Amino acid sequence: MLALSCASASAQTKLRAWNIHPDGYPVTEAMKRFASLVEQNTGGRYQIEVFSNATLGDQPKAVQMLKAGEVDVAEFSSGPLSDAAPGLKALNLPFLFSDSAHMFKHLDGKLGERFAAKLQTAGFVVLGWYDGGGRSFYCASRTINSFKDLAGARIRVQQSEIYIEMVKLLQATPVALPFKDVLGALEQNTVDCAENNMPSFESTGHYKVAKSVYVTNHVVSPEALVVSTKLWASLSPADKAAFSKAGTDSATLMRELWNKRVASAIETVTKQGVQFVRVKDVAPMVRRMSPLYGKYMADPSTREELLTIIGN
Between 81 and 100, the more confident residue is 100
Is the Cβ–Cβ distance between 206 and 168 less than 8 Å? no
Look at residue 208 and tell me whether its pLDDT is greater than 80. Answer: yes
- Fill in the DSSP letter of residue 96: -
Res. 5: pLDDT tops 60: no
Query: 171 CB contacts (<8 Å, ≥6 apart)?
Result: 150, 151, 152
Res. 52: pLDDT tops 60: yes
Burial of 1 per CB tally in 10 Å (0-12, 13-18, 19+): exposed
Mean pLDDT of all residues belonging to the chain? 91
pLDDT for res 267:
97
Could you tell me which residue, 174 or 296, shows the higher pLDDT? 174
Work out the pLDDT band at 4, boundaries 50, 70, 90.
Answer: very low
Q: According to the model, what pLDDT value does residue 6 have?
A: 46
The whole-angstrom separation of Cα 12 and Cα 257 is 31
Region of poorest pLDDT, from 52-56, 90-94, 182-186: 90-94
Residue 10 has pLDDT above 80, yes or no: no
Rounded average pLDDT over 89-93: 84
The pLDDT of 278-294, averaged and rounded, is 94
Which of the pair, 135 or 98, is modelled with greater confidence? 135
- Residue 72's pLDDT is 97
Predicted local confidence at residue 82, as pLDDT: 77
Q: What is the mean pLDDT of residues 55-61?
A: 89
Task: Please count the structural domains in the chain.
Answer: 1
Q: What is the mean pLDDT of residues 245-253?
A: 98
pLDDT at residue 308 in the model: 82
- Decide which of 141 and 243 is more confident: 243
In the predicted structure, residue 231 carries a pLDDT above the cut 60: yes
What pLDDT does residue 159 have? Answer: 81
Say if residues 230 and 190 touch (Cβ distance below 8 Å).
no
CA 249 to chain centre: 18
280 within 8 A of 214, measured Cβ to Cβ: no
Rounded to an integer, the average pLDDT of 246-268 is 97
Specify whether the CB–CB gap between 173 and 167 falls below 8 A: yes
CATH number of 98's domain: 3.40.190.170
Q: Which domain holds residue 287?
A: 2-310
* pLDDT given for residue 312 in this prediction: 66
Predicted pLDDT at 243: 98
